[in-house]
Structure 1
Amino acid sequence: MEPEHAEQRGPKHFRHEFPTDFVFGAATSAFQIEGAVNEDGRGKTGRRSHGVNEKGIAFYNVLIDDLIANGITPYVTLFHWDLPQYLEDEYSGFLNHKIVEDFRGYADLCFEKFGDRVKHWITLNEPWTYSFYGYGLGTLAPGRGHTSNFKMSYLMDFIPSSRYVSPQSFMRKRTVTTTFGGLGKAVSDKEGGNTTEDSGNPGTEPYIVSHHQLLAHAEAVKLYRDKYQKTQNGKIGITLVSRWFMARTHSTSDRNAAERAIDFMFLDPVTSGQYPRSMRSIVKERLPKFTEAESKMLKGSFDFIGLNYYTTNYAAHAPDVDTLNPHVATDRMGGSSWLFVYPKGFMDLLLYIKTKYNNPSIYVTENGIDEKTDATLPLWESLSDHKRVSYHHHHLCFLKKATREYGINVRGYFTWSLLDNFEWASGVFVRFGNIYVDYKDKCKRYPKLSAEWFKLHLPKIEPRKSDVDGPDS
């Protein structure tokens, strides 16, 4: 089957082909679609002791009730990077251990007010991304980390001494070469890190922020299990950003680079109570340590793992890379330079997690591809998102194989995203949505081809035998 025409060949996926009670959905983020930042009592608070915005509670009560009334099961993320400004101003947010108690109080309020209807809670969305881009590169809020004082050789050892290139595209027969720097230690023009008080230190702060996010997660999970889970009968987990890495060559150094790249900074702590060995050996004293009690609280602190998967990269050992020019790509299938299409990497990643982490319950909480906003296109052409249809088709093919042939415990699949939205540093210049938003005409919404494709290919009714177009190719 030619991928470009996959959507024209008739239904290829049916709900009954996935595990019993498997869920399909579309993801959003409140900050990225809601707007109205000054409406209904919103303000610079963030601590429960400072009072509760009852209008905000009422808004989400109506939203949750409307979802359920329309046959939609809510999966709720507590923190998707929208830190209250008050807490950032008071004590620098996740840089301070105080955030752990405030996050616990916020989670307690949400469990209390919404837990009678919300049965799937996610504590944090992509804590690695929040730490790395907010405190390492400085391209997301609060914009700390990378400054002119730091050489371009990169910041930290989040994925140490490796460089990435994307694998041969699944969609075209050209090799993509994109480089993401050395990801080595923080290097400053002056010994000792940052040289400006407000710029932050990308060699230490991302680890501190990550550490506090993990502790906040663990406290929220403990609270839910101790106080609410028995009566509310819900589940709680964490969503992690993920990508698959393959060694660029068969050399030992490249294989080691791939292994370091695959190491999960957050999945290891919530399964074992400790950071990965590779992190501990390279980051050394810059990596905060868990107390015995914290480690015990972290270990097993999930009922399910959310995975946000978009892309795959090669990894190669590159200890001397000294530039942060991140990519030179020749086959960019997405509107973002980091997103390359390689659906098999999706299954490879799931197999790795099954083997290393004892086959945990997984929800694919984000999967999708974007296109750049092009104001010159007519509406009909903007709605014809054939690449997105092909992307989802092939990822679902490998997801089916992962669950049916390898017994990987994936329980659900959510597309990113329901709507075109505000994509953080990219603004509205890229579009991930299955629904088109016309920003020039009062944000009117139009279903794209991908939305119609999901309706056609994943019907709730069982298909007749004659409707099924043979085995997947």
Structure 2
Amino acid sequence: MAAAAAMVMLAALALLAPSARGLDRAEFPPGFLFGAATSSYQIEGAYLEDGKGLSNWDVFTHTQSREINDGRNGDVADDHYHRYMEDVEIMHDLGVNSYRFSISWARVLPRGRLGGVNTAAIAFYDRLIAALLQKGIEPFVTLHHFDLPHELETRHGGWLGAGIREEFDYYADVCFKAFGDRVKFWTTLNEPNLFTKFAYMLGMYPPKHCSPPYGNCNSGNSHREPYLAAHNMILSHAAAVDNYKRNYQATQGGSIGIVIAMKWYEPLTNSTEDILAARRALSFEVDWFLDPIFFGDYPREMREMLSSNLPTFTSEEKRLLQSKADFIGVNHYTAIYAKDCISSPCDIKTYEGNALVQAVGERDGVAIGGPTAFHGYYDVPEGMELIVKYVNQRYESTPVYITENGEWQGGLLEFTVHSGNSLEIEKFLVPPNLLPCIFNDHVSSYALSQATRSLAITVWRS
């Protein structure tokens, strides 16, 4: 059995065992998608086979292995490139009806738009898509999941250079042209809000840029570069969506959206300062990318705090942004308390630090939710309902897909199921060697078919 197939074991119990869980697919709207998700670098392997070029992660893990907890890399990973048929077969056996995966930009265009299209890569993804469809599994394709050709780092400075926009538009067009007759769900970018912070503010992802107080990298400016990279990513998204809607959507019949990492922030106290801090954290987390896409500009809170460090959109760029997105993907794993750091001292060398917010897991010694094995993440089922409602209300009429959700507990894995609106709870345990993460009680906690416009649930393979 391919190691990559472990991720779909999750779906077997979390999605397809209504008798054990008291949850029935009939409770969800017709056509609702239940699936699992992966990313190319984490599962494909074959990092230099069949004409693939080096990606930013290939270079990073080989040259800065000390930055990786266990020093490993994705050279082989789960060997999905060679064993994809086994993985598809297992997904089919489990009854999964959608599979969210990403395409390796460096595999398709090893040198970007200045080089040729790698026909072996096109053939691989053709085979994968054909195998999925033959088994009744809907491909849900992500174009950028943190990886890009290393040559584009050299040529454009990665996402910091405006030239990356044309590169991404060209890459997206290659994919639309090659696979769009069969792919009906496209995601331009996965978690660009998280990626830009980790890559250009905290220095944890390639190209490892940061500056004090967030870190001491060899290069970077944590106060400016995350927003410049984000600006180029937003405009890259807009260009790809505009192209798809003008040239492909009518004939191919698909939809295209973007996926955002979304925590839910609760005020630590009832003080005005903490209430505003929670709102500010959401603005820097969610609105940062979605407001430009749906409203044409950055949120007021960011503009007031960041001033000239936040780029501006030209009138032509605002016109491009009018293409918006057909859906919003929500990646949600936790809720957290927000403490104001404007009026009180805090440690701001953190993920929320740029919003002058400190994330706190406990209030008066009581944790916000159940423990997980991932530091700073808690099991807070109502967080899913709150964040989806927030998105529904702010970006009204836009369909929502839960594109990632799950939880790793270490030891034994516990599923908690809230059945319908009655919140009947059932629990059962699964050995961790079978499941790398769990699809927990978040699913029906927020009454998918009742309170939201959600159309899919996808579990992340950790």
TM-score (norm 1): 0.71
Match of 1:277 in 2: 300
RMSD: 2.5
Residue number among 362, 371, 377 corresponding to 1:339 in the alignment: 377
Superposed CA offset, 1:25-83 (max 9, x none)? 00010110001111001125332331011111101100100011111100000000111
Superposed CA offset, 1:186-225 (max 9, x none)? xxxxxxxx9x8x4110000000000000000000000001
Cα pair 1:309 1:346 within 8 Å, conserved: yes
Shift of 1:96: 0.1
Does residue 21 of the first structure (1) align with residue 21 of the second (2)?
Answer: no
Q: Percent identity?
A: 39
Cα pair 1:273 1:297 within 8 Å, conserved: no
Match of 1:210 in 2: 230
1: distance between equivalents of 2:119 and 2:411?
Answer: 37
Shift of 1:93: 1.0
Does residue 34 of the first structure (1) align with residue 44 of the second (2)?
Answer: yes
Does residue 245 of the first structure (1) align with residue 265 of the second (2)?
Answer: yes
Does residue 123 of the first structure (1) align with residue 188 of the second (2)?
Answer: yes
After TM superposition, list the pairs within 5 Å mapping 1:74-473 onto structure 2. Answer: 74-146=139-211, 150-151=212-213, 154=214, 198-263=218-283, 264-319=287-342, 320-322=345-347, 324=349, 333-372=371-410, 381-383=431-433, 392-399=439-446, 401-404=447-450, 406=451, 408-417=452-461, 432=462
2: distance between equivalents of 1:105 and 1:30?
Answer: 19
Cα distance change, pair 324–282 in 1 and its aligned pair in 2 (3 A): closer
Consecutive unaligned residues of structure 2, counting only runs of 5 or more, are: 1-13, 55-109, 352-358, 413-429
Cα pair 1:329 1:337 within 8 Å, conserved: no
Shift of 1:384: 6.3
Cα pair 1:350 1:402 within 8 Å, conserved: no
Cα pair 2:193 2:260 within 8 Å, conserved: yes
Superposed CA offset, 1:164-199 (max 9, x none)? xxxxxxxxxxxxxxxxxxxxxxxxxxxxxx9x8x41
Cα pair 1:351 1:402 within 8 Å, conserved: no
Residue number among 35, 47, 50 corresponding to 2:115 in the alignment: 50
Cα pair 1:100 1:213 within 8 Å, conserved: yes
2: distance between equivalents of 1:300 and 1:255?
Answer: 33
In structure 2, give the amino acid aligned to 1:334. T
Secondary structure of 1:74's match?
Answer: strand
Greater RCO (Cα-Cα under 8 Å, separation 6 or more): 1
Q: Which one has the largest radius of gyration?
A: 1
In structure 1, give the amino acid aligned to 2:117. V
2: distance between equivalents of 1:102 and 1:336?
Answer: 35
Cα pair 2:268 2:360 within 8 Å, conserved: no
Cα pair 2:185 2:254 within 8 Å, conserved: yes
Shift of 1:381: 4.0
Secondary structure of 2:45's match?
Answer: coil
2: distance between equivalents of 1:311 and 1:328?
Answer: 12
Moved more, 326-335 or 351-360: 326-335
1: distance between equivalents of 2:318 and 2:349?
Answer: 35
In structure 1, give the amino acid aligned to 2:241. V
Cα distance change, pair 11–242 in 1 and its aligned pair in 2 (3 A): same
2: distance between equivalents of 1:322 and 1:241?
Answer: 22
Match of 1:167 in 2: none
Cα distance change, pair 388–63 in 1 and its aligned pair in 2 (3 A): closer
In structure 2, give the amino acid aligned to 1:144. H
Superposed CA offset, 1:104-125 (max 9, x none)? 0000000000001001100000
Superposed CA offset, 1:130-169 (max 9, x none)? 10000100011111114xxx23xx48xxxxxxxxxxxxxx
2: distance between equivalents of 1:79 and 1:118?
Answer: 16
* Number of equivalent positions: 358
1: distance between equivalents of 2:255 and 2:309?
Answer: 34
Relative to its length, the structure with more helix (as a share) is 2
Shift of 1:325: 7.3
Shift of 1:372: 5.0
1: distance between equivalents of 2:182 and 2:279?
Answer: 41
In structure 2, give the amino acid aligned to 1:46. R
1: distance between equivalents of 2:232 and 2:48?
Answer: 29
In structure 2, give the amino acid aligned to 1:235. S
Cα distance change, pair 244–299 in 1 and its aligned pair in 2 (3 A): farther
2: distance between equivalents of 1:14 and 1:260?
Answer: 38
Shift of 1:8: 11
Consecutive unaligned residues of structure 1, counting only runs of 5 or more, are: 1-5, 156-193, 375-379, 418-431, 433-473
Cα distance change, pair 323–285 in 1 and its aligned pair in 2 (3 A): closer
TM-score (norm 2): 0.73
Match of 1:457 in 2: none
Shift of 1:335: 2.5
In structure 2, give the amino acid aligned to 1:26. A
Superposed CA offset, 1:74-97 (max 9, x none)? 000000011110010122111000
Superposed CA offset, 1:243-270 (max 9, x none)? 1111111111111111111122111111
Cα distance change, pair 395–104 in 1 and its aligned pair in 2 (3 A): same
1: distance between equivalents of 2:449 and 2:37?
Answer: 22
In structure 2, give the amino acid aligned to 1:333. P
Cα pair 1:47 1:102 within 8 Å, conserved: yes
2: distance between equivalents of 1:238 and 1:222?
Answer: 13
Cα pair 2:28 2:448 within 8 Å, conserved: no
